[in-house]
Amino acid sequence: MSLLQIDQLSVRFGATMALDSLSLAIAAGETLALVGESGSGKSTAALAIAGLLSHQATVTGTIRFDGQALTDWRGVRQGGIAMVFQDAMSALNPVHRIGAQVVEALRLPRAEQRVAAARFLDQVGLPQPERLVDAYPHELSGGMRQRVGIAIAVAQNPRLLIADEPTTALDVTIQAQILALLRDLKARLGLSLLLVTHDLGVVAETADRVAVLYAGCLMELAPAAALFTSPHHPYTQGLLEARPPFGTQAPMLAELVEIPGQLPRLDPPPAGCRFAARCDRADQRCRAEQPVLRPIADTLVACHHA
Amino acid sequence: MKPGQLGQVVRRRLAHAVPVLLVVALATFGLLKLAPGDAVDVLIATGGGGDAALAADLRRAYGLDQPWPAQLAHYLWRLVQLDLGYSFVHNRPVSHLIWERLPVSLLLMASATAFAVGFGIVLGVSAGQTPGGWRDRLILSVGLVLYAMPSFWVGLMLILIFAVKLALFPVGGFETAASDLTGIARVLDIAWHAVLPTVALALLFVSVYLRLMRAGVVEVASADFVRTARAKGVGATRILWAHVARNALLPVVAMVGVQAATLLGGAVVIESVFSLPGLGRLAYDSVLARDLVVLLGLLLTSAVIVIAINTVVDLVVAALDPRVVAR
Amino acid sequence: MVDQALSRRTVLAASSVLAAGPAFAQAQPRRGGTLQVAYNTEQRNLNAAMVASNAVFLVASKILEPLADAVYGGVGLTPKLATGWNAASDGLSITFELRRGVKWHDGRDFTSADVQYSALEVWRKLSNFGRSVFRSLETVDTPDAHTAILRFSRPTPAQLIWNALPDLTAVLPRHLYEGTDVAQNPRNQAPVGTGPYKLAENRPGQFVTLERNAEYWDAGKPYLDRLVFRVMPDKGAISAAHEAGQLQLSCFSSVPLADLKRLQSLPALSVSNRGYEASPYHALIELNLRRTELADVRVRRAIHHALDLPRVVADVFDGFGTVGTGPVPTTSQLFYTTDTPRYGFDLARANALLDEAGYRRGAGGMRFQLKLVPAPWFDYTVLLGDYIRQALRQVGIDCQLQRFDAPGHLQAVYRDHQFDIATGSPVFRNDPAISTTVLYRTGTPPGVPWSNQYGYASQAMDQLIDQAAGELDPIKRVALYHQFQRLAMEDLPVIPAVEFSFLTVADRRLRNVANTPRWAMSNWADLWLDA
Ligand SMILES: Nc1ncnc2c1ncn2[C@@H]1O[C@H](COP(=O)(O)OP(=O)(O)OP(=O)(O)O)[C@@H](O)[C@H]1O
Ligand code: SF4
Ligand SMILES: [Mg+2]
């Protein structure tokens, strides 16, 4: 049984359809990568799962975690799901000490707080955790701050860790360290990982399966290896062609997409296939009828012509 | 903030203060010399009249027969020696006059600031929690009304309602006259007298701080670290106060320094309406009496107070915000 | 007088109280109690021998006593520190019998040496008005501890000295002042006197507290234990304090005009304009004769004709005033004469006079423009300015209002003469020679407030004033002042528009309020608070 099971999850911000009928599952211990260009709904999906959507969002569909349906779209997923954010600087409260932020929600007696905080900081590989406990976020480097962000997540003792572009804001060398840390934690703590990213290199290194989002719709869901060797969806194929040679620095996906055109407006979304305006295989049918996911080998693809 | 920084903040402020004080002294001197009439005219008029020889005698005694550059030089020279001079209108050294009135003004300013900041924070948070909601709109409208009301009018209204109609507070005064109270009873008596003037002076600033606080709350509420706090399961109340309000507070505290001069100005009116023997009223009386030395002394004192408040604000901000380091 | 209308109302109100309770039953004065009095304009110098002004007297007259004070009726004087006085017929000396058994508040005996010192060193040299009244005082002989003989170098009218006694003869303790700079003496803030109350505490900006002097020479008095003068610069706050019952007395019109009606309607308070007869004010309209138009007496008379003064009394003064008829007020029974030229409200006459003077109406119906500077001293003097502007428009004189604060006004009007019409408010102090003839005499240098600063110069007037000042025969002296009043109204350099005095707001339980013509400035020894 999957740890997380999403069915027909849709999120609207007013007229904007940010996420359209997303269905997917994450198994215990699995790493699922969520990719797509900017505005495709990755964060929306992540926040919906974490229960962090803002009040403007209208949500339909179901999310089951460990068999339990999550009914409150803006409730904390206590002890189950934790989240790491993209910008580690702004994700930490500038006026509180690191240690206090790590253990803030743990309801520990005052005396135990420092020790506990130091333990979590140690767990994410930060040096001199006893001293860091008293530091403020601005005194730390970007990589250290992201480790603190991860420590905060780990402190909640989660089973699913959502990481929304956890390395985008960091230097390349640091990116690698953070990814290594995430992989390490996953292994040590037996976590499932939902990794939102732009970086197909990261996907290749880290993910078990990949979900490709485009304009709020799931276009392709495939095992990582299969996706790289035989992408089925025209959008995925475009992405992979545009990918720089392996090992070079991976810039943000949005900048490197060489597929001409841009995301369609989502208020409301166009009829037919969302990708039709940019797809060289698009025809009459594509523009009229929205493709549904269908299996091709061990992949799910939403395309009339795949 | 590290211990050594306190001295640094104070020293930096003081270094800025000296030229400011000099400019204040020169500007005041100039302005008052430009204003028509002098202290002797007023002294004679308020004394019920007198003859020309009396005026000449007084003018000579006060040094007002000297050319103004000589008067200015004389004043500045004494100032360098930390001597604020002697008021012939009051027949007392200026420093005594000011010293005697300082506690009243400081008490009024401190209590009004505490009241304004306190209510500004509570109302600002409460409004900013649901921007655009009925509570927000209500509080903002009330704030606007408070901002628009002249404080002498507010003072008189408070007197009419709470002192005359409801008889809950005294009409004015710093303490019960000739009450012979001492110790805690006297402190309570002074506090009881301070309630209405504090509120009257503070209301204007409540609206300033509440709007600042509200804007801060709305802005900070969408900050990433608030989302982090939600993600880790911090309760709504704690998020509101420990995260949102705590950060939105910083510009409010900084504003206290900016408002220090306005607050002193407001105290002039309030001290008159509530018969409080503070610096503001001394200033008002001194303008009407063209009592130049006292006014200069007062303006210098005010400048020092404003600088001192800003120094304290600097220190508080530095204590509240670890990112701020003393430069 | 309007006073009568008011007091009739007061009496009616009082009698309704009478019907309800035994307010009058207790004729025996009650001892004890604290009186809270408003102190609207705080004074820095409480030395009443040096500064003769209302606000100083309000507090200081309870501590420092004059040789004699004013009373209603009789010769108008009642003995205080002097028990008898006698003037030599040559006008060169006056002998005062001094009261025996009087002690200063610090326990020392009061003697003739104190009077000698005060007269020579303070009244003659430092007092704002004493300097002119006692100008020719040469020595003071003290044959014994209870006799003081004032000797003058030139004949001085005894009448003038009698009239000056209440205001200008406060006696200072020689032992505390001699050998010091009187103007700088710290006792000016904490006076030691012989009066019924002694200073307990002077807290600047807050209050002055006086305590009952148990050793007072008038045994049994005073009745009150304590007087608290509360410094209250805001008049609105004073009326609120009255309403809240936190204040029992305010003198010298210390409440806003706008609040009067409301305060009058309160059963616990009485509002009255009695008790100020010895120091009546004139709302004066000063015309700058340096302006060619105003140098013409026809124009000045036209201006007077253009003013509807009864209406001014009713509207501007709320009825608390009397139309002025000359430089001496109607309340001065000794000097006042009705036989003066009058200029009643008559627009046709005003227009005719202006036409006759050669100022025809020009564009927009206006004849010429004047700069009008209302004095900031009272609400009245300010409002009067507004009224003059309206009234003069009707006869084709266009007034431009210019307002100053107190020092600005003093400078603009009395020093720089930068005005065409100003309002003013001089006080009549019992004798025209003290503060009234100076309004008409030439020779006062610029800068002296409440003197002739409008350029009026008449030899006839100067002679008349000097003659009266040296006239020893009281009957002839009065006759000369009648002539003075006629000439003043003939030439009309200033228009004494309205006589007004002040209002006292008092708790109705207070007894013996306003029982002398300078009551607020008297010693209040007989004031008591009914239960
Ligand atoms: N609070 C919101 N109010 C209105 N629209 C929103 C809100 N949050 C997201 N959207 C819209 O929903 C769509 C999806 O946004 P989302 O942030 O999920 O994209 P993303 O894939 O995470 O992009 P990026 O790579 O830039 O982070 C976008 O069109 C965005 O404008
Ligand atoms: S459905 Fe049509 S338009 Fe959409 S991706 Fe497939 S081919 Fe292209
Ligand atoms: Mg995103």
Q: Which residue has the higher pLDDT, B69 or C356?
A: C356
Determine whether the interchain pair A82/B231 forms a contact, defined as Cβ–Cβ distance below 8 Å.
yes
Size of interface A-B (CB pairs under 8 A): 70
Encode C340-358: b = buried (16+ Cβ within 10 Å), e = exposed: bbebebeeebbbebbeebe
Residue B157 dihedral angles phi and psi, to the nearest 5°: -65, -45
* Token couple for B268: 């002039």
Q: Which of residues 216-245 of B touch A (CB under 8 A)?
A: 222-225, 227-234, 242-243
A40 alpha carbon – ligand 1 mean position (Å): 7
Look at ligand 1, atom 3, and give the residue with the nearest C-alpha. Answer: A13
The model's pLDDT over A278-293, given as tens digits with 9 standing for 90+, comes to 998 999 999 999 999 9
Determine whether the interchain pair B225/A93 forms a contact, defined as Cβ–Cβ distance below 8 Å.
yes
Q: Please compute Rg for chain B using Cα positions.
A: 24
pLDDT on residue C39: 94
| Cβ partners under 8 Å of residue B276, min gap 6 | B104, B108, B172, B173, B174, B197, B270, C205
A157 alpha carbon – ligand 1 mean position (Å): 28
A259 alpha carbon – ligand 2 mean position (Å): 14
Q: Ligand 1 in contact with A36 (CB < 6 A)?
A: yes
Determine whether the interchain pair C55/B164 forms a contact, defined as Cβ–Cβ distance below 8 Å.
no
What's the CA gap between B255 and B251, in Å, rounded?
A: 6
Encode B104-133: b = buried (16+ Cβ within 10 Å), e = exposed: bbbbbbebbbebbbebbbebbbbbbbeeee
pLDDT on residue C215: 93
pLDDT on residue C15: 31
Q: How many CB atoms lie under 10 A from the CB of residue A248?
A: 10
Q: Closest by alpha carbon to C278, among C504, C515, C518?
A: C518
What's the CA gap between A28 and A34, in Å, rounded?
A: 17
Q: Mind telling me how many Å the CA of C204 is from chain B's nearest CA?
A: 7
Tell whether the model's pLDDT for residue B51 goes beyond 80. no
Q: Ligand 1 in contact with A186 (CB < 6 A)?
A: no
What's the CA gap between C260 and C157, in Å, rounded?
A: 42
Tell whether the model's pLDDT for residue B16 goes beyond 90. no
Encode C165-186: b = buried (16+ Cβ within 10 Å), e = exposed: bbbbbbbbbbebbeeeebbebe
Q: How many CA atoms lie within 13 A of A189 on its CB side?
A: 24
CATH topology of domain C28-46+195-278+502-531: D-Maltodextrin-Binding Protein; domain 2 (3.40.190)
Ligand nearest, relative to CA of residue A53: 1
CA end-to-end span of chain B: 11
CATH topology of domain B104-279: MetI-like fold (1.10.3720)
A42 alpha carbon – ligand 1 mean position (Å): 8
Q: Mind telling me how many Å the CA of B229 is from chain A's nearest CA?
A: 8
C181–chain B Cβ distance below 8 A for any pair: no
Domain at C64-183, CATH class: alpha beta
Q: Ligand 1 in contact with A125 (CB < 6 A)?
A: no
HEC letters along chain A = CCCEEEEEEEEEECCEEEEEEEEEEECCCCEEEEECCCCCCHHHHHHHHHCCCCCCEEEEEEEEECCEECCCCCCCCCCCEEEECCCCCCCCCCCCCHHHHHHHHHCCCHHHHHHHHHHHHHHCCCCCHHHHCCCCHHHCCHHHHHHHHHHHHHHCCCCEEEEECCCCCCCHHHHHHHHHHHHHHHHHHCCEEEEECCCHHHHHHHCCEEEEEECCEEEEEEEHHHHHHCCCCHHHHHHHHHCCCCCCCCCCHHHHCCCCCCCCCCCCCCCCCCCHHHCCCCCHHHHHCCCCCEEECCEEECCCCC
What's the CA gap between C287 and C278, in Å, rounded?
A: 27
Which residue from A54, A91, A95 is facing B228, i.e. has the nearest CB?
Answer: A91
Give the three-class secondary structure for C209. Answer: strand
Task: Name the closest residue on chain B to residue A51, using Cα atoms.
Answer: B231
Q: Ligand 1 in contact with A39 (CB < 6 A)?
A: yes
* Token couple for C451: 């003197």
Per-residue pLDDT band at B48 (split at 50, 70, 90):
low
B177–chain C Cβ distance below 8 A for any pair: yes
Tell whether the model's pLDDT for residue B39 goes beyond 80. no
Q: How many CB atoms lie under 10 A from the CB of residue C125?
A: 16
Determine whether the interchain pair A156/B246 forms a contact, defined as Cβ–Cβ distance below 8 Å.
no
Q: How many CA atoms lie within 13 A of B101 on its CB side?
A: 25
pLDDT on residue C12: 32
Cβ(C253)–Cβ(C259) below 8 Å: no
Q: Divide the 306 residues of chain A into consecutive groups of 10 and give the mean pLDDT of each group.
A: 90 93 93 92 93 89 87 71 88 93 89 92 93 93 93 92 88 89 92 90 89 94 92 90 56 53 85 91 92 92 91
Give the three-class secondary structure for B289. Answer: coil
B246–chain A Cβ distance below 8 A for any pair: yes
pLDDT on residue C4: 35
* Token couple for C354: 């202006």
Q: Ligand 1 in contact with A41 (CB < 6 A)?
A: yes
Q: Touching A: which chains, 3+ CB pairs < 8 A?
A: B
Q: Per DSSP, what are the bridge partners of residue C199?
A: C210
Q: Touching C: which chains, 3+ CB pairs < 8 A?
A: B
Ligand nearest, relative to CA of residue A47: 1
Look at ligand 1, atom 13, and give the residue with the nearest C-alpha. Answer: A18
pLDDT on residue B38: 74
Q: Per DSSP, what are the bridge partners of residue A196?
A: A34, A164
* Token couple for B2: 């590290």
Q: Ligand 1 in contact with A16 (CB < 6 A)?
A: yes
CATH topology of domain C281-500: Dipeptide-binding Protein; domain 3 (3.10.105)
What's the CA gap between B249 and B242, in Å, rounded?
A: 10
Determine whether the interchain pair B44/C449 forms a contact, defined as Cβ–Cβ distance below 8 Å.
yes
Per-residue pLDDT of chain C (531 residues; tens, 9 = 90+): 333 333 333 333 333 333 333 334 446 899 999 999 999 988 888 999 988 888 899 999 999 999 999 998 777 899 999 999 999 989 999 999 999 999 999 999 999 999 999 999 999 988 877 887 898 999 999 999 999 999 999 999 998 999 999 999 999 999 999 999 888 888 999 999 999 999 999 988 889 999 999 999 999 999 999 999 999 988 888 999 999 999 999 999 999 888 888 899 999 999 998 999 888 899 999 999 999 999 999 999 999 999 999 999 999 888 889 999 999 999 888 899 999 999 999 999 999 999 999 999 988 899 999 999 999 888 888 999 999 999 999 999 999 999 988 888 888 898 889 999 999 998 898 899 988 998 999 887 787 778 888 999 999 999 999 999 889 899 999 999 999 999 999 999 999 999 998 999 999 999 999 999 999 999 999 999 997
Residues in chain B, how many? 327
Residue that the structure tokens 């006694």 belong to:
C165
Look at ligand 1, atom 11, and give the residue with the nearest C-alpha. Answer: A18
Per-residue pLDDT band at B5 (split at 50, 70, 90):
low
* Token couple for C167: 């205001």
What's the CA gap between C487 and C461, in Å, rounded?
A: 7
Q: How do the residues of chain C divide into helix, strand and coil, expressed in percent and rounded to 5?
A: 35, 20, 45
B2–chain A Cβ distance below 8 A for any pair: no
What's the CA gap between C380 and C85, in Å, rounded?
A: 40
Most informative mutation of A217, A239, A274, A275 for ligand 2 (most atoms within 8 A of CB): A275
Q: Which of residues 95-134 of A touch B (CB under 8 A)?
A: 95-96, 101, 104-105
CA C226 to chain centre: 26
For residue B281, the chain C residues in CB contact (below 8 A) are 205, 233
Q: Per DSSP, what are the bridge partners of residue C103?
A: C109
A39 alpha carbon – ligand 3 mean position (Å): 7
Determine whether the interchain pair A104/B225 forms a contact, defined as Cβ–Cβ distance below 8 Å.
no
Which residue from A52, A92, A139 is facing B231, i.e. has the nearest CB?
Answer: A52
| Cβ partners under 8 Å of residue B236, min gap 6 | none
C49 alpha carbon – ligand 2 mean position (Å): 109
Question: For residue A276, which atom of ligand 2 is closest to its CA?
Answer: 3
Cβ(C338)–Cβ(C325) below 8 Å: yes
Give the three-class secondary structure for B164. Answer: helix
A213 alpha carbon – ligand 1 mean position (Å): 12
Q: Ligand 1 in contact with A299 (CB < 6 A)?
A: no
Question: For residue A213, which atom of ligand 1 is closest to its CA?
Answer: 21
pLDDT on residue B47: 61
For residue B178, the chain C residues in CB contact (below 8 A) are 34, 200-201, 207, 209, 226, 228
pLDDT on residue B241: 93
* Token couple for B278: 């503070």
Ligand nearest, relative to CA of residue A40: 1
pLDDT on residue C17: 32
DSSP state of C317: S
Q: What angle do CA B233, B235, B238 make, to 5 degrees?
A: 125
A269 alpha carbon – ligand 2 mean position (Å): 15
Cβ(A160)–Cβ(A194) below 8 Å: yes
CB-based pocket (< 6 A), ligand 2: A 234, 273, 275-276, 279, 281-282, 286, 291, 303-305
Look at ligand 1, atom 29, and give the residue with the nearest C-alpha. Answer: A39
- Domain assignments of chain C as residue spans, ordered by start: 28-46+195-278+502-531, 64-183, 281-500
What's the CA gap between B274 and C445, in Å, rounded?
A: 41
Indicate if the alpha-carbon torsion angle A274, A278, A281, A287 is positive or negative. positive
Q: Mind telling me how many Å the CA of B270 is from chain C's nearest CA?
A: 10
A281 alpha carbon – ligand 2 mean position (Å): 6
What's the CA gap between C185 and C71, in Å, rounded?
A: 32
Q: Mind telling me how many Å the CA of B109 is from chain C's nearest CA?
A: 18
pLDDT on residue C469: 87
What's the CA gap between A219 and A212, in Å, rounded?
A: 6
Most distant CA atoms of chain A, gap in Å? 69
Determine whether the interchain pair A92/B225 forms a contact, defined as Cβ–Cβ distance below 8 Å.
yes
Look at ligand 2, atom 5, and give the residue with the nearest C-alpha. Answer: A303
Residues in chain A, how many? 306
Beta strands in C213-308 (DSSP E): 226-231, 249-250, 269-272, 281-287
Question: Measured between alpha carbons, how far is residue C368 from residues C294, C304, C363, C495 in Å?
Answer: 11, 16, 10, 20
pLDDT on residue C16: 32
